[in-house]
Structure formats: structure tokens, C-alpha cells
A and B are shown apart, each in its own frame.
Chain A
Amino acid sequence: MNLPEFAVVGHPNKGKSSIVSTLTRQDDVSISEISGTTTRSQSFTCSVDGQPLYHLIDTPGFQRPRQVLAWLEQHADNASQRAETVKAFLAEQASQESNRFQDETELLTPVMQGAGIIYVVDGSLPYSPEYEAEMSVLQWTGQPRMALINPISGADYVPQWQSALSQFFSIVRVFDPMSANDEKKRAVLSAFAELYEPWRHQLEQALQHLEDHSNKLEAQSAYLIAESLGRILSETRQIKVPVQFTESLLKQQLATQYQKTLREHEEHFRQQIQAMYALTQLQTDAGQLQADFPDMFDQSTWYIFGLDRKKLIALSAAAGAASGAIIDAGVGGASLMTGALTGGIVTGLASLAATRKTDALNIKGVPLAGKMLTAGPVKDTGFAFVILGRLLDFADAVGSRNHAQRQLLNVQERGMTHRTKLLSKTQQVQLTRLLLKGQKGLSQKEMTLLADLIRALRLVDE
């Protein structure tokens, strides 16, 4: 069975390509701010897990709708001949050497081959009678059709458009391809399903697939964050100290190398997230990431991503106490809860000391066949929260970015203080414990638990 296919048509420069881009999850749909540059129709397919769900055809805008309408009116005797007349028009244009109606031919051909029509208008500009010729031509095709009002730079004229479009289209929806979240995209696709009965089932299935896929991406990205976090937190780097070199020089070199490695891990994570969400345009420029994002080791920005000092110390102490309580439980309570108390005090004090003097690098020498300098893992809980905050912010920014957007990726720094409120107190302590353990490497079970907690911290659609 053929897949549902829709031609996205309209006046030039009304956001047709943006709509195609967002609804097919392809950020390579060419979007030009200069009108009249799209002269050929091109089909884009929305696929999930390799399975194509529907096609959207990006078409050139109407250039000579009044002339087409005049031609059609001249060649049709009655309403029953309208669709045939449109076909005759296309046939005549195809037979001519020079086609003045190239844009109309390009946009009407897929429609007459069976594609549904999605007519796009700009809700930020007033309605005017010049659009009526376009809508009339579309009416003549006899194909199922709906209208989307795209509020490109405001919704001032949306009511005006709604009343005008409802004269020509049975379904009219407002849809902003730049800011629409998953729910709004699904609402528009549901409207597609209403458009033409034979496609209803396929489009409803497509909606289900997209929802499942969205959940899958959410779970996978949470796991990717957990994995990258584990990798960054447990990273160590070693360097041998030959006698002829001064140790301080090598320490500097090791610190630089270590920081570089952590940055590489973070960059690798970003590339993976971008590729996962099919943001290939961002990926092609991956040599120099297009994210406006402070550096990982710029401690002046840590307050943005991490937790405030009070919260950090409280959580670290609680996590330490929880670890001590395991020992207490192990001895059947014979320790009179001294394990929990000691764990809480020691971890809390360590955290307090760390917040006073943040030391991103832990370099130590090991006397082993000469001397070995080791950098990492960073044992500062604050640093772990900072990294988690950075990864979450980036994943949220990419996850909520629509494929029609072409501007620089703007990562909104939400900070962990705000995010941790999404977790219960027990979950907050669990998260802190996992971050503390992260320096030693996490087991599969712990990694899964961390991914679950991270999933609860996501703010994709906020």
C-alpha cells in the first residue's frame, strides 16, 4: 500500500520548507529566506527505525495563480470537469518547450498524482484577496486538503486567516514549525489523519511509531548521558617522570592532557546526541561545534550548571550517611549507627573542603620504576554535578530543537538546583551516591539506575 503523501504548497516564503523539515525530522531541507528560490518539488520521507511513515513534498510557491485560474476557467465547462482540466493544464505545460508555469507545474503535479494538500499561510501578515486564486486552483484539483497557519513572526492575523481559510479548507490548524513541541507535531499529524479516510489507519500507526520512537530516544539519551558521565568522572591519565625532566613541567603537561581528554569525551557525547536526534547540519560543522557553551573548566560558570554549596554539602553528607548505614545494617545494628554518622560527617566535611577550594585535578606521584604522575579521577562531587548539568542542558537543547531551526544552537543553562527538585529526597541521595561512586566506574546495574534518575531530570519540553 502506498504511503500517505502530502504536497506542502502555498504562496512563496510562507515557511513551507520549514514545515517539511520539522515534520519529517530532516534538518537538511533547504530553507532560504529569499523568496522564489525553490523552483523544484522535492519529496522528503519521515521514517522511524528505517520504516517510512509518510512523505511530504516541498514545492515551489505559486507564481502565477491568477493566470492558471484563468486558463482553467476557460477550459472547463462545468464543475465535474475541474480535476480533468487541471490535468489537461499540466499536460499542455509538459508538451511546451518553454514552461512559463514551471512552479505551478511542479507543485500541481504531485497533487494530481494523488498527494494530499497542505496549504501554508503566514499568520503574522494580513489576509488579502490575492490568495484566493491560489486557494481556488487547489480547490479545482479535488484533492483532500487542509491549511496550516504559520505564525512566522506573530499571530496577529491568525483569526482573520482562520475565517478566510475555512471557506476553502475543511481543516485549518495553527502550526509553528520553529517552536512546535512533540505534542503539537502529533496534533498536526492527527489532523492529516482526518483529512483522507484511506490514510487514517497508516497515519494513526505513524503517530504511534513516532511516540514510541520519542520514548526510545529519551531512554537512549539518558543512558548516553549516564555513560558519558561515568567516562568523564572515572577518567585517569598517567605520565612517566624521566629523571631529566622537571616534575612541575610534566604536571602542567599532564593537567593539560587530562583536561583535553575530558573535553574530548564531552564533545564526543555532543556529536552522538546530535546524530541521534538527526541534527546533521550541526554535525557537519562538528569540527568546530556550533554550540555557544562555556568551557568545562571555566569555574566561573560552574554555579550555572552545578548545585549551590549548601545543597551540595547536604546531599554529599546524606549520600555518605547512606553508605555508612549499609555497614551498620551489615553488622546487624551493633555499631549503633556510627557507620551512618561517620559516613555523613566525613563525606560532608570532604565536600565542604572541596567547595572551598575546587581542585579539578588530582595529580599524584607514584614511586614505581621511577615516578608516575596520575591525573584524575576528579573526586569533587561539585564537579560531578557540573558535568551532569552540562550534559543534561546540552541534551535538552538538542532534544527540543526542531529540524527547521537553522540558527546557532542556544543551550539554556537550567542548573542542577532546579532540576534536582524533580527528584524525591531519596532519589537525590541515590544520585549523589552514584556520582560519588562514578569515579571508580559504575556497574551495569548502577548505570541503569543512574540513567533512570537522569531521565527524570530531563526538561525537554519545558
Chain B
Amino acid sequence: MSHLPDSEASEFFLKRSASFSLFLWLSFCRFVEQGKVLSLNSQACSDISSSVSGTPTSLQQWLTLWQQQAFRPQHLIRLPWWLWGVCLITGAVTMSGVLAVQAGGIINIWLPLFLFAFFPCLLSLLTAVSAASSPEKPRHPPLGYHWLAERYQLPDFQPNHLLLRPWLARQLQQGASLMVLGGLIAFFVFATFQEIRFYWSSTFIQNYETMAAIFHWIALPWQLWLEAPALSVVEASQFSVQPFAEPGQTEQSSELWSFVVAAVLTYGLLPRLLLMALFNYQLKSRLGRAIQTSVVPEQFLNHQQHTVSIDPLQQEEAPEDQPQDTMPVATKTETEEKATKRPDQQEPQTETEIKSQPRIQEPALTGYQVGWRLSETEIPVRHNLGLASWQADEDWLNQLSTVETEAIALIADLWQIPTGELADIAEQLRDKGVTLRLILINAQNIAAERTDVQLKTWQFFADRHQLPLEQSSKHDLMASLTHDTERSEGKNG
């Protein structure tokens, strides 16, 4: 058998009455289904959390916060109060009908016993049998479920049928108990203002001793507190005896009232109260099980504790009204048009935009070639930046002759990640009036699927820092560099 861990959630929801617990839970389920989020302001959290951050630190605290913020008394379903009044009055009216005889008249004892003791007892037994024989089949919703579902907007799924069945059954028992109670109240009111005398009669039983034995059996449950009607009382209350009864005998027949009241209490009211307790227990145990197996508390926590990530590309919204600086540009490409703005004035690009804009050109190698963190020594660049100390790079930049190097091709490995240091070097070179181009080579020969991502990264960097971006294979670059060297050597020679 699977053992679900003890649930903190069950503890929270089940500490109140069964009805309250049920609707607290259903209200919670509805809250989670609607995807609402609790307010975590300091005032809201200060009462329940002792954590430094002020946010709840346990499920109990989260649930308490939910109860404070989202649970309203109207979420508790209570059947209308007048319904209970109707039950009470129905019982009272029925009993009044039974007792409404002329003063001094006599009443057949079987009538109140049947209506307020035996018939309710039979119904209670049937209810108990049906509750025991098919306790948890979830196929059909209980009677009244659709009315409740509509009224309370219950999410229509089967576990709620299971929970609402005992709750509805409990309500029915409560109504029935009130009817019996109403009958008892009416009985005492009548008994206060008029004499009520009961008789018995039977077609088959003429012997009052047999009837006394029957009364004795009926009175078995309460015999410890109240004796069964005595033989003389049974004899005096036989219908055929009544018209000829002597004064003492009629008093004896009125003594049967205590027997009737005890029977109504024992057979009419007590089973209803026991059933109410049973359905309460059934509701609590089913609710406990439902909470324990439910994924709703987990969903609730996941939703409430979800940290919304900062969207990095959305952070960098640039103000639109800033003036545009002009920059020396080599060719009029889209990249360079964007590059007429300074980095902090760039229009932000969305990731989708970057993904859909591969604007990398074929390189035209002329002028001075400088490497950026190139690990391949066979690429004959004049200088390889980024690997030694920052001071060493700065020294090189300071001693760079701008006459000799009015255009520089900055060659980088595609697998490198462009960083702020590269941007700084680019900026310093541009400050010296050098026209820069970035040339990417794929020197690592690593998995092809990442090439596209790396290209986007470089494109993003180039756009941000106004650098024309070109790409070349290592082979082509080597050939161009060799040809360039030979040409410059020939020119010199």
C-alpha cells in the first residue's frame, strides 16, 4: 500500500468543523484553479511570518495568508435558515395533527410511534445500509450536487462528488432531526394544555399481556432509565377497555406519554444524530484523504513562489529623444546605419529580431589584422589581444601608430564570447580614428548546432557596438592573409 506523507495541508484544513473544513478546502481549490496570486506586502505577511524576508516560510503560513486574503465567510455554504424552520414546523404540524383530538379524547399510540419513531428509524437504517454498501463509488453525483455546483461554482470533477455526498447526507439528517424535534415540541405544548391519553388496539392481539411484552421489547433500549409500561397500564389503555374505564384507569392510560416520548427520542432522533456523526466522520476522513492525495497545495505553492525572471532584453529600453552622433563608417550596411548611434542609444533588439537577422558579410581582407583571444598560433596576425594582462593590451594600444593602421580587422574565434573588454578595445581604437571590422573564424570545429547561437551572440554584440561583422572559414582567411602578406612584401621589394 502506498503511504502518502503526512500532509501539512490536511492539518490546516481539518482543524475546524467538517462543514467548515469542506468549504475551506473547496474554496481553496477554486482559488488555485483560477490562478490567483496572493499579495506579499509587508503588512500582509508581518502577522504570519517571522522570516527575515517577511515572506511565508511554510505551507501552513502560506495557507494562513490565503485564508486571510482570499477566504470569505460567504464561501461557506449553509442551507437557508428557513429550510430548517420548515423542517421544524413540518414536524410540529404533523404532531399537532396527530394530537388534535377533542379534549378528553384518546389517541391511537401506534400513530405517533409510527410517524415519529418507527418510520424515521426505518429510513435511518436504509440510509446507514446504503452508506455502508456503496460508500465511495464516484460514478454519479449525489442528489442536489448540481444545485450546489451551480450555486457555488464548484469545479465539476468527481472527487467533489465524494466529498459532497456525506455533506448532503448530513444536511438531510439534520433536517429530519429537526422534524422529530418539532414533533416533540408540539407534543409537550399539547400535553401542557390538555390531557393526552393513548390507547392501543389490534385485530390480532387481544391479549393485553402480549401487547405488554411488545411494549417491553420496544422499551428495551431505555429500560435502565425508564421502565416499560406496566401490565396494568397496558390493560387500561386497550381501546376496548376505554369506554368502560373507571377514573383510576384513565389516569393510567395517560401515563403512556413517557413511553411515546422515549420511543421518539430513541428511534426517531437518536439514529439521526448517530448518522449525522457518521457522515461527519465520513466527510472528514474523505476530505483528509482527498487533501493528502491532492496536487492542489503543490500547485498553489508553485504558483505563489514563482519568481518572475527579469527579461534582460526588455530592461534596456533606450530613450528615443536622444541626439544621434555620427560615426565614421566604412560601408552603408544596415548594421552600420544602426551604428550611427552610440551603444547606450541603440534601439533594443528583441531576441526574435536577432534570430531573424543574419547580416554577416563576406570579409574583404585589407590593412592591419589583430587577433582577439586567438588560440591558433598559425593565423599570422600582427598582435593577439585579450590573453595577456589588461595592462599589456593597453600598452599595445598606446603605442599603436594610427598612420599605419587607419583600418583594422579584428579577427576572433566564433567560439569566443564577446565581452566588455573587446568593446573597450574597439572603443579605444575608434577614438584613435581607426576603422574597425570584426571577422569571425570557426577555429575550434566544435558541434555545428551551436554555430548559429554563437553567430547570433556576435551579431548582437556587433549591433550594440557598431561594428561591421564578417565571417570567414579558417582556410579562406589563411589564404587571404598569405596573399596579403605577399602583396605587401612585393610592394616593399
Binding site for B on A (CB under 8 A): 2, 11-13, 26, 28-30, 32-40, 42-45, 47, 49-52, 61-67, 69-70, 100, 103, 124-126, 128-130, 133, 152-154, 156, 212, 215-217, 219-224, 227, 230-231, 234, 268, 272-273, 275-276, 278, 280, 440-445, 448-449, 451-452, 455
Q: Does A37 lie within 8 Å of B302, measured CB to CB?
A: no
**Shortest Cβ-Cβ A-B pairs, 5 listed:** A63-B420, A441-B139, A66-B390, A30-B309, A50-B59
Among residues of A, the one whose C-beta sits closest to the C-beta of B161 is A441
How many residue pairs, one in A and one in B, have C-beta atoms under 8 Å apart? 206
Q: Does B295 lie within 8 Å of A66, measured CB to CB?
A: no
Among residues of A, the one whose C-beta sits closest to the C-beta of B7 is A216
**In the complex, how many residues of chain B place their beta carbon closer than 8 angstroms to a beta carbon of chain A?**
74
- Which of B294, B302, B456 lies in contact with A278, CB distance below 8 A? B302
With a cutoff of 8 Å between Cβ atoms, the chain B residues found around residue A443 in the complex are 135-137
- Which of A50, A61, A212 lies in contact with B61, CB distance below 8 A? A50
- Which of B1, B311, B421 lies in contact with A64, CB distance below 8 A? B421
A35-B4 contact given A29-B309, A220-B295, CB 8 Å threshold: no
Further pairs besides A64-B421, A125-B444, A125-B446: 15, Cβ < 8 Å: A30-B311, A36-B461, A44-B307, A61-B417, A62-B419, A64-B424, A67-B421, A130-B387, A156-B446, A219-B3, A223-B4, A230-B138, A275-B302, A280-B306, A444-B289
- Which of B4, B136, B421 lies in contact with A66, CB distance below 8 A? B421
With a cutoff of 8 Å between Cβ atoms, the chain A residues found around residue B461 in the complex are 35-36
Residue B52 CB within 8 A of the other chain: yes
Q: Does A39 lie within 8 Å of B312, measured CB to CB?
A: yes
A122 CB → nearest B CB, Å: 9
B416 CB → nearest A CB, Å: 8
Q: Which of B1, B391, B417 has the most CB of A within 10 A?
A: B417
A452-B1 contact given A2-B52, A50-B301, A125-B415, CB 8 Å threshold: yes
With a cutoff of 8 Å between Cβ atoms, the chain A residues found around residue B295 in the complex are 220-221, 224, 272-273, 275-276
With a cutoff of 8 Å between Cβ atoms, the chain B residues found around residue A128 in the complex are 373, 375, 387
A33 to B451 Cα, complex, angstroms: 11
Residue B303 CB within 8 A of the other chain: yes
A50-B62 contact given A223-B293, A275-B303, A443-B137, CB 8 Å threshold: yes
Q: Mark B300-320, 1 if CB is under 8 A from A, else 0.
A: 011101111111110110000
- Which of B286, B444, B457 lies in contact with A36, CB distance below 8 A? B457
B46 CB → nearest A CB, Å: 17
Q: Does B158 lie within 8 Å of A36, measured CB to CB?
A: no
Q: Does B417 lie within 8 Å of A49, measured CB to CB?
A: no
Among residues of A, the one whose C-beta sits closest to the C-beta of B460 is A34
A51-B58 contact given A33-B453, A128-B375, CB 8 Å threshold: yes
A408 CB → nearest B CB, Å: 16
Residue B449 CB within 8 A of the other chain: yes
Among residues of A, the one whose C-beta sits closest to the C-beta of B392 is A66
Residue B69 CB within 8 A of the other chain: no
Q: Which of B52, B315, B453 has the most CB of A within 10 A?
A: B453
Q: Find residues 296-348 in chain B having any chain A CB closer than 8 Å to their own CB.
A: 298-299, 301-303, 305-313, 315-316
Residue B205 CB within 8 A of the other chain: no
With a cutoff of 8 Å between Cβ atoms, the chain A residues found around residue B316 in the complex are 39
With a cutoff of 8 Å between Cβ atoms, the chain A residues found around residue B34 in the complex are none
A268 to B295 Cα, complex, angstroms: 12
Residue B130 CB within 8 A of the other chain: no
Q: Does A234 lie within 8 Å of B139, measured CB to CB?
A: yes
B343 CB → nearest A CB, Å: 12
With a cutoff of 8 Å between Cβ atoms, the chain A residues found around residue B311 in the complex are 30
Q: Does B159 lie within 8 Å of A227, measured CB to CB?
A: yes
A155 to B266 Cα, complex, angstroms: 80
A374 to B226 Cα, complex, angstroms: 58
A401 to B348 Cα, complex, angstroms: 33
A112 to B180 Cα, complex, angstroms: 76
Among residues of B, the one whose C-beta sits closest to the C-beta of A224 is B295
B261 CB → nearest A CB, Å: 40
Q: Does B420 lie within 8 Å of A34, measured CB to CB?
A: no
Residue B47 CB within 8 A of the other chain: no
A30-B447 contact given A49-B8, A70-B390, A448-B1, CB 8 Å threshold: no
With a cutoff of 8 Å between Cβ atoms, the chain A residues found around residue B1 in the complex are 448-449, 452
A21 to B326 Cα, complex, angstroms: 42
Q: Does A220 lie within 8 Å of B302, measured CB to CB?
A: no
Among residues of B, the one whose C-beta sits closest to the C-beta of A449 is B1
With a cutoff of 8 Å between Cβ atoms, the chain B residues found around residue A445 in the complex are 136
With a cutoff of 8 Å between Cβ atoms, the chain A residues found around residue B289 in the complex are 444
Among residues of B, the one whose C-beta sits closest to the C-beta of A68 is B390
B27 CB → nearest A CB, Å: 18
A222 to B293 Cα, complex, angstroms: 9
Q: Does B58 lie within 8 Å of A126, measured CB to CB?
A: no
B479 CB → nearest A CB, Å: 25
Q: Does A70 lie within 8 Å of B303, measured CB to CB?
A: no
Residue B450 CB within 8 A of the other chain: yes
With a cutoff of 8 Å between Cβ atoms, the chain A residues found around residue B305 in the complex are 45, 47, 50
Q: Find residues 367-385 in chain B having any chain A CB closer than 8 Å to their own CB.
A: 373, 375
Q: Mark B443-473, 1 if CB is under 8 A from A, else 0.
A: 0101101100100110011001000000000
- Which of B58, B312, B420, B460 lies in contact with A49, CB distance below 8 A? B58
A278 to B295 Cα, complex, angstroms: 11
B244 CB → nearest A CB, Å: 59
Among residues of A, the one whose C-beta sits closest to the C-beta of B461 is A36
A161 CB → nearest B CB, Å: 14
With a cutoff of 8 Å between Cβ atoms, the chain B residues found around residue A40 in the complex are 310, 312, 315
Among residues of B, the one whose C-beta sits closest to the C-beta of A58 is B309
A41 CB → nearest B CB, Å: 9
A153-B449 contact given A40-B312, A443-B135, CB 8 Å threshold: yes
A280 to B309 Cα, complex, angstroms: 12
